[in-house]
Amino acid sequence: MTPDTPPPRDLRLLATGTLGVLLCAFTLVEVNYPLLAPQSRLAFFALVGLALCFLNVPIHPSLKDDPRARAGDVVLAVLAAACCGYIVVQTDPLFAAWWVDGQTLGNRAGFETTFDTAIGLLGLLLVIEAARRALGLALPLLAAAFILYALFGSAFPDWLFPHRGYTVPRIVAQTFLHSQGIFGVALGVMFTYVFLFVIFGAFLEATGATRFIVDFAERVFGRSSGGPAKVAVLSSGLMGSLSGSAVANTATTGTFTIPMMRSAGFQPVTAAGVQAAASSGGALMPPVMGAGAYMMLEIVDPPVTYLEIIRAALIPALLYYLSLILIVHFHAQRMAIATGEAPVAAAPVADETPDAAARSRAAGLVFASALGSLILFLVLGYTAFRAVTLSLVAIIAVSSVSKATRLDWRFTILSLVTAARGVVPLVAAAACVGIIIGIVTLTGIGTRLPATIIPLAEQSLFLALVLIMISSIVLGMGLPSAVCYLLMATLIGPVLGNLGVIPLAAHLFIFYFGMMSMVTPPVALAAYAASSIAGTRIMPTGLAAFRFALVGFTLPYMFIYRPELLMLTASGEPAGWLQMLLPVAIATLGVTCFAAGIAGQLRNPLALGPRLAVFGAAALLLAPGPSLDLAGFGIPLFDVAGVALFGGVLAANRQPA
């Protein structure tokens, strides 16, 4: 819909637009100038979000135009609003006159009325249904499994952490009526941080700044070897930092970059795999990152600031994207040598007319102002939500300078509605995760499950990390990465402090593997999105994305054993540049070896033996190892061996005479 489109006559679309604007306005005001009680503001946030979900996501795609199904959706939207509205009324002092028995829900905990329980049970079911519509079956089934665990815990065997079991009213109170469940930390993070960044991204897109990202990447890499794939990598890194969603990133930038790669000679599966791998790293890239970064603000103990999180995440994210750039560069070189053609490059596709150049400059100014102001406000010590709010003001102010980027009131409303509809899956996911968190707290499994990991960690940190990695990847299959991180941090959070590593590093470890689940077959959601654009089969695309993203599976181990990559010392203090220099140099060389091994190319194609040797050099450079004390200096033996092995392969990999 464009601004010239006449106002929609469909009342459902009109309601969607009204609710979308209301949700954005309420969030912007309430986050910066809170008026309601904490649980009340989250309940109102959920009220509008769930109503939008039922109005816009049909019970089944085949019934999206069925009048009876759509009428049922309206009924469910009204019921969801009523259930969440009941929480608002029964918890906020503004509505004290309507409190049951003159007490808030919190004050009558343990003595809830039958009506309280009925409202809570209905709300619980509606949240699960909203999550099913917005996300599929994986998360609702997981929530249902936890509910059954809470109900029938006394019948579980010893290895499944039995407990005494809880009644339906107790479960409903824990998960819906009070602040430990649906209206808890997960929804709080979405409300306080994530949604504001969704609005931030929607406004940037409305000004044309997101198209500038692709144009900029084309100008940087368009004529280089493997140019189209490098454009995909760079643009996905920039775009993904704004959206924080691997699937949304793939769907947005992949529309431009996958056809570009195919037209330049890349195989469709390769093009889709590159795009999926690049998109999956977007949430790891500062300064915006994904929802998981904001959740760390609430979970990491001792507490960290947002600036500390993005500072720690910067070098690993750059290493990840460096690996992708190198892989596609080596891949393009290998293709050119195999076919006898010039290295794959892109003809400039950006429109170079004066008007287009002026629009691109204006959009680039908006993009630079938005990110620059965001970083500036964070450096000045503003909270993340206040910094992004002020950056929104900067976007509106700078975009108004040029007609090409100016937002009139119609575009502004459309941007708000777009942002509200974009956050619906996150609201449904956060609310459903709240059910799981509430039951984890209620049953005590959150403290009992780590007891199985602690003995393993005492024997071997590496084995404990492998177990956490596998758990994160398996749990992340079919779930948003932020949801995966929150569940893992909730379930094994108590054990992280006993691993003997920096708490922030441990949480980033979980977050990384939650993101890597997006490209890990058989359920690789980013690869699914890329395959639909490229017209390729899902499984080969997933395997290609997995291959290109392999470095992402090594980086978390690297920064656990070498915290200097997080700009931290072993004790968790900020590291100096001299302390970081050698670890970063070794990691960069290790990533280069890894990329060469994956692509099978260095200066020239690598035969099987040299290719295995390059992988061996990468393993030596990326793995921790013993040091030899020589004249007061610690000489890392594995690193020295890795450098020597790589140097030997590089020298031997010369053009044959």
What is the DSSP code string of 267-293?
A: -HHHHHHHHHHHHHTGGGSTTT--HHH
Q: What is the pLDDT of residue 460?
A: 76
Amino acid occupying residue 534: A
Q: What is the pLDDT of residue 290?
A: 65
CA distance 118 to 88: 16
Beta bridge partners of 574: 568
pLDDT tens for each residue of 417-431: 888 888 888 889 889
Q: Which among 478, 477, 513, 520 has a CA at the least distance from the CA of 492?
A: 513
Sign of CA dihedral 293, 294, 300, 305: positive
Beta bridge partners of 627: 636
**Which residues in 117-127 are b (16+ Cβ under 10 Å) and which e?**
bebbbbbbebb
Residue 487, SS3 per DSSP? helix
Q: Identify whether the C-beta of residue 349 lies closer than 8 Å to the C-beta of residue 222.
A: yes
pLDDT tens for each residue of 567-596: 999 888 889 888 899 899 999 999 999 999
Q: Which among 360, 588, 570, 555 has a CA at the least distance from the CA of 465?
A: 555
pLDDT tens for each residue of 257-277: 888 788 777 889 988 999 889
Q: Identify whether the C-beta of residue 397 lies closer than 8 Å to the C-beta of residue 20.
A: no
Q: What is the pLDDT of residue 479?
A: 66
**Which residues in 621-632 are b (16+ Cβ under 10 Å) and which e?**
bbbeeeeeeeee
Q: Identify whether the C-beta of residue 26 lies closer than 8 Å to the C-beta of residue 407.
A: no
The token pair at 327 is 């892989």
The token pair at 166 is 């809880």
Q: What is the pLDDT of residue 425?
A: 84
CA distance 41 to 22: 13
Q: What is the pLDDT of residue 494?
A: 63
pTM: 0.76
Q: Residue written as tokens 């610690």?
A: 634
Q: What is the mean pLDDT of residues 246-263?
A: 77
Residue 409, SS3 per DSSP? helix
Amino acid occupying residue 163: H
The token pair at 421 is 């509809």
Q: Identify whether the C-beta of residue 389 lies closer than 8 Å to the C-beta of residue 32.
A: yes
Beta bridge partners of 634: 629
Q: What is the mean pLDDT of residues 3-17?
A: 65
Q: What is the pLDDT of residue 499?
A: 73
Q: What is the mean pLDDT of residues 357-373?
A: 83
CA distance 472 to 488: 7
Q: Identify whether the C-beta of residue 555 lies closer than 8 Å to the C-beta of residue 320.
A: yes
pLDDT tens for each residue of 76-108: 999 999 999 999 999 999 999 999 888 889 888
Amino acid occupying residue 390: L
Sign of CA dihedral 512, 472, 251, 192: negative
Amino acid occupying residue 350: A
Q: What is the mean pLDDT of residues 218-244?
A: 74
Q: What is the mean pLDDT of residues 65-74?
A: 90
Q: Would the pLDDT of 248 be above 90?
A: no
> Residue 468: pLDDT band by 50, 70, 90 thresholds?
confident
Q: In whole numbers, what is the pLDDT of the chain averaged over residues? A: 83
Q: Which among 557, 574, 485 has a CA at the least distance from the CA of 283?
A: 485
The token pair at 194 is 């994530």
Q: What angle do CA 142, 147, 150 make, to 5 degrees?
A: 130
pLDDT tens for each residue of 161-213: 888 889 999 999 999 999 889 998 888 888 888 788 788 878 887 887 767 77
Q: Identify whether the C-beta of residue 391 lies closer than 8 Å to the C-beta of residue 197.
A: no
Secondary structure letter of residue 601 according to DSSP: B
pLDDT tens for each residue of 312-327: 999 999 999 999 999 9
